[in-house]
């Protein structure tokens, strides 16, 4: 099937719902035959996602810059761990190996990856579907902000519509899969 890149935190966050969502997404990706592409860590939500996908029989590709192998605690039990020299190569490698993108709850790195891949889509550098997994309303304030950006005339509705969102892994995957070419 397809390769789906997931951006998410190397921390678990304060709610057990985030960990549960990462585990559920990893499981459903494997069950639907998708390969997971992610940042390659064994800690936080990243580790939960990868471990769940592997436990469900899925293929998991991690991409990690050399300087983060120890800091983010690289996961050496993956189907494949691709080591790259820097963050730019990490993002480019993840994007090149993906057919779709999902952002789960995370911090500044997750946001940066999400907005860069969305910008690349806007600029026509890819036509791959993108979505937010809005676990416990984590992204609800951001979605409202983005809608306001449209209202204020700084973002076209067609660009806003490129970014899908759903509250459950199954609903988000349904939406993304419906856009595969």
pLDDT in tens, 47-60: 999 999 999 999 99
In a domain, 10, yes or no: yes
89 is in which domain, residue-wise?
3-136+164-176
Question: CA-to-CA distance for 6 and 30, rounded, in angstroms?
Answer: 13
In a domain, 11, yes or no: yes
In a domain, 146, yes or no: no
In a domain, 145, yes or no: no
pLDDT above 70 covers a percentage of the chain that reads 99
> The whole model's pTM is what?
0.96
What is the domain-level CATH number for residue 96?
3.40.50.450
Strands (E), 107-162: 130-133
Which residues is 65 bridged to in the sheet?
A: 84
**What are the φ and ψ backbone dihedral angles of 21, each rounded to 5 degrees?**
-65, -40
pLDDT by residue (tens digit) across 99-133?
A: 999 999 999 999 999 999 999 999 999 999 999 99
In a domain, 115, yes or no: yes
Domain count, the chain: 1
In a domain, 181, yes or no: no
């Amino acid at each position: 099937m397809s390769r789906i890149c997931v951006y998410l935190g190397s921390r678990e966050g304060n709610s057990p719902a985030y960990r549960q969502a990462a585990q559920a997404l990893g499981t459903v990706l494997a069950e639907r035959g998708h390969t997971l592409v992610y940042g390659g860590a064994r800690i936080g939500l990243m580790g939960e996602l990868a471990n769940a996908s592997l436990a469900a029989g899925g293929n998991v590709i991690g991409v990690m810059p050399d300087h983060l192998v120890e800091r983010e605690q690289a996961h050496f039990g993956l189907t494949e761990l691709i080591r790259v020299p820097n963050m730019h190569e990490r993002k480019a490698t993840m994007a090149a190996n993906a057919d779709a993108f999902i952002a789960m709850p995370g911090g500044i790195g997750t946001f940066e990856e999400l907005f860069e891949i969305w910008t690349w889509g806007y600029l026509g550098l890819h036509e791959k579907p993108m979505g937010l997994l809005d676990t416990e309303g984590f992204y609800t304030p951001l979605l409202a902000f983005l809608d306001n950006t449209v209202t204020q005339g700084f973002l076209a509705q067609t660009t806003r519509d490129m970014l899908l969102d759903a509250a459950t892994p199954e609903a988000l995957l349904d939406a993304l899969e419906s856009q595969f070419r």
